[in-house]
């Protein structure tokens, strides 16, 4: 259930942003309908009560639960979640216009892309890949909420510790001759580098040249106490306590070289300053890009 809890919390944050923000960075109008009211209340209360951990002074000056929740959401959670989702989906839509016909969401959780899209090409297929337990939880929830699963969505249960991603996708009908778009959001920092590189290598074997892979990652400074921002240190404390320690960061200037054995080329590599400029520059609500977080877009390029 831990993975399911992570999925619920992310879903709550996207729904909160869509319903409370006057100018959403990423508008997920489906997220709220996947959660029970009791879940929203519980998650909201837990986040609001965590305010003193993040900022003792704010915990004393902000009095109501709603004020506390808004501050925690907008400073500690939402900016990274919504900007990475927007980055991935904007790149995806551009790829669809160029003829891509398969979208593989790795670690899909409670992703709602499939329920928000209109006018996708009739031959476009979405593959949601996740741990079998999390995926079963999501499917049960969709059924419970009376949400019909679109015909072009395929659920692909994969336990990365024991299962082959390539085999599972092929069994689900993945077409190795079609341009494909892969996303992996909010996960890479928890993976060992070797496991991440293996995943990229597997995808480069599976997908044709020119296919895309989008992910977010931390820079190496985030993992060093002397150079990490306060928010990052707190995030590492929270994730370590929950049994999911943050263990991996990359040097943005070395990333291209590190990827050369994986059959991937670095197409785009955004630093926090780039992300701030893209999505947060004209805002007056205090939302900002997080330090240490980068977005990268890779292209499959295997040598013949």
- Return the pLDDT at 240: 87
Residue 7 lies in a domain: no
Residue 108 lies in a domain: yes
In the block, tokens 């999505």 appear at 279
Find the CATH number of the domain harbouring 241: 3.40.50.150
Q: How many angstroms separate the first and last alpha carbons of the chain?
A: 43
Nearest 10 degrees: Cα torsion 109, 115, 119, 124: 40
Q: pTM for this one?
A: 0.96
- Provide the residue range defining the domain that includes 249: 83-300
Judged by phi (left if over 0) then psi (alpha if -120 to 50, else beta), residue 270 lies in beta
Kind of pairing between the strands at 212-218 and 293-300: antiparallel
Number of folded domains that form the chain: 1
Residue 22 lies in a domain: no
- pLDDT tens over the chain, length 304 residues: 455 778 899 999 999 999 999 999 999 999 999 999 999 999 999 999 999 999 999 999 999 999 999 999 999 999 999 999 999 999 999 999 999 999 999 999 999 999 998 889 999 999 999 999 999 999 999 999 999 999 999 999 998 888 999 999 999 999 999 999 999 999 999 999 999 999 999 999 999 999 999 999 999 999 999 999 999 999 999 888 888 899 999 999 999 999 988 999 999 999 999 999 999 998 888 899 999 999 999 999 987 6
In the block, tokens 């590599």 appear at 269
Q: Within 10 A of 135 (CB to CB), how many other CB atoms are there? A: 21
Residue 135 lies in a domain: yes
Residue 260 lies in a domain: yes
Residue 16 lies in a domain: no
Residue 208 lies in a domain: yes
Residue 152 lies in a domain: yes
């Amino acid at each position: 259930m831990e993975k399911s809890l992570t999925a619920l919390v992310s879903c709550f944050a996207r729904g909160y942003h869509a319903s409370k923000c006057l100018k959403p960075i990423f508008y997920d109008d489906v997220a709220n309908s996947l959660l029970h009211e009791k879940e929203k209340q519980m998650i909201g209360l837990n986040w609001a009560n965590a305010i003193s951990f993040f900022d003792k002074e704010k915990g004393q000056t902000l009095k109501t639960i709603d004020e506390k929740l808004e501050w925690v959401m907008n400073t500690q959670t939402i900016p990274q979640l919504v900007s990475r989702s927007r980055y991935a989906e904007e790149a995806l839509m551009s790829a669809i216009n160029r003829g891509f016909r398969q979208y593989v969401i790795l670690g899909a959780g409670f992703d709602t892309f499939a329920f928000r899209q209109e006018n996708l090409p009739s031959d476009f297929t979405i593959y949601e890949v996740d741990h079998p337990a999390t995926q079963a939880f999501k499917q049960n929830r969709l059924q419970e909420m009376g949400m019909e699963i679109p015909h072009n969505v395929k659920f692909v249960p994969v336990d990365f510790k024991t299962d082959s991603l390539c085999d599972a996708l092929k069994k689900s009908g993945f077409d190795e001759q079609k341009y494909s778009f892969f996303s992996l959001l909010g996960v890479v920092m928890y993976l060992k580098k070797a496991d991440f590189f293996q995943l990229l290598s597997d995808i480069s074997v599976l997908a044709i040249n020119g296919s895309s892979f989008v992910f977010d990652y931390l820079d190496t400074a985030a993992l060093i106490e002397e150079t990490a921002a306060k928010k990052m240190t707190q995030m590492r404390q929270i994730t370590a306590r929950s049994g999911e320690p943050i263990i991996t960061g990359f040097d943005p200037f070395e990333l291209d070289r590190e990827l050369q054995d994986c059959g991937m080329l670095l197409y785009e590599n955004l630093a926090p300053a780039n992300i701030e400029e893209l999505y947060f520059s004209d805002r007056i609500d205090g939302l900002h890009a997080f330090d240490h977080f980068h977005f990268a877009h890779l292209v499959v390029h295997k040598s013949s």
